[in-house]
Amino acid sequence: MAIKQNESHNYILSECWLRVVVVYYIFIMLFGIFVSTFVMSNIQEKVSYNVILYTTIASMGVSAMLCSVQYLRRIYKACINGKIKMLQKNENFQQFGNVIYFVLRPFFAIVFVIIMVFALLSSVSIVTSGNFQVNERFLYFCIIMSSFIGFSIGRILDRFEELSSKKVNKIFDTHEGD
Instruction: Count up the domains in the chain and report the number.
Output: 1
The amino acid occupying position 172 is F
- Is 57 inside a domain boundary? yes
Sign, Cα dihedral of 81, 86, 88, 90? positive
Q: What is the pLDDT along the chain (178 residues), one digit of tens a residue?
A: 444 555 567 898 888 999 999 999 999 999 999 999 888 887 776 666 688 888 899 999 999 999 999 999 999 999 999 998 887 777 888 889 999 999 999 999 999 999 999 888 887 666 566 566 677 788 889 999 999 999 999 999 999 999 999 988 888 886 555 4
- Is 4 inside a domain boundary? no
- pTM score of the predicted model: 0.80
CA distance 49 to 71: 35
- Is 32 inside a domain boundary? yes
DSSP secondary-structure letter at 83? -
Please give the residue range of the domain that contains residue 65: 9-175
